[in-house]
């Protein structure tokens, strides 16, 4: 299915880049993963951005200096084909990510959609090169979001090494 270039927040290059990571992730995946995320269940990049158009609560996993995993929910968006999210600069996850940028992000929508992203975060500069994302946040949260949390929050983009996305409805018969 061709990608509609008028979808906001994603260029065709963003979609192509995300699709390449999806394809590579499944090529490198093991038999167990491929047995669950069958070709019929996999969600392509263009479909994924259509299915996740706004803010969604996703779980971010970080790791402490002594190797303990920590997870927590964040408000997240797909923006330019990557997961973007914010947190308080004093939050444990922000402290972890500043020293160990490796991250995993998971989104589960019942048995309809599962998304897993593994990669490294890049801090965002909402006043500079990432201004478009700051504008998206203002459109979602209201013009005064920066007064409340925007200027003090830590925002990140996940530069993915692996992305897995599937519609588990294929296995349960609950397709659209």
State pLDDT tens for residues 45-103. 999 999 999 999 999 999 999 999 999 999 999 999 999 999 988 899 999 999 999 99
Q: Assess if residue 128 is contained within a domain.
A: yes
Full 3-state SS string of 81-147: CEEEEEECCCCHHHHHHHHCCEEEEEEEECCCEEEEEEEEEEECCCCCCCHHHHHHHHHHHCCCHHH
Task: Name the token pair of 161.
Answer: 């090494």
**Quick check: is 175 in a domain?**
no
Total number of domains constituting the chain: 1
Predicted local distance difference test score (pLDDT) of residue 65 = 93
For residue 28, is it within any domain?
A: yes
Report the share of the chain in percent with pLDDT over 90: 74
Residue at 27 is within a domain: yes
Instruction: Express each pLDDT in 126-149 by its tens digit.
Output: 989 999 999 899 889 887 777 665
Residue 129 lies in a domain: yes
CA–CA separation, 86 and 76 (whole Å): 7
Evaluate whether residue 1 is within a structural domain: no
How sure is the predictor about 1, in pLDDT bands with cuts at 50, 70 and 90? very low
Domain annotation covers residue 2: no
Question: What pairing do the DSSP bridges indicate for beta strands 82-87 and 102-109?
Answer: unpaired
Distance CA 12, CA 34 (A): 27
Contact 104, 61 (CB under 8 A): yes
Q: Which domain holds residue 115?
A: 12-168
Dump pLDDT digits (tens) for 98-107: 999 999 999 9
Q: Is residue 112 part of a domain?
A: yes
CATH of the domain at 32: 2.30.110.10
163: enclosing H helix or E strand: strand 154-166
């Amino acid at each position: 299915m061709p990608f509609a270039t008028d979808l906001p927040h994603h260029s065709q290059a963003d979609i192509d880049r995300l699709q390449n990571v999806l394809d590579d992730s499944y090529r490198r995946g093991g038999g167990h993963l491929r047995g669950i995320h069958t070709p019929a269940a996999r969600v392509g990049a263009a479909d994924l951005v259509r299915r996740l158009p706004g803010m969604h609560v996703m779980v971010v996993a970080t790791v402490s200096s002594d190797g303990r995993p920590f997870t927590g929910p964040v408000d997240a968006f797909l923006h330019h084909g990557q997961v973007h999210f914010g947190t308080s600069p004093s939050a444990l996850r922000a402290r972890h990510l500043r020293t160990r940028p490796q991250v995993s992000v998971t989104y589960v929508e019942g048995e309809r959609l599962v998304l897993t992203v593994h990669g490294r975060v890049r801090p965002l500069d909402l006043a500079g090169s990432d201004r478009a994302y700051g504008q998206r946040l203002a459109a979602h949260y209201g013009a005064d979001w920066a007064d409340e949390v925007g200027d003090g929050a830590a925002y990140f983009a996940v530069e993915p090494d692996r992305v897995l996305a599937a519609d588990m409805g294929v296995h349960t018969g609950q397709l659209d």
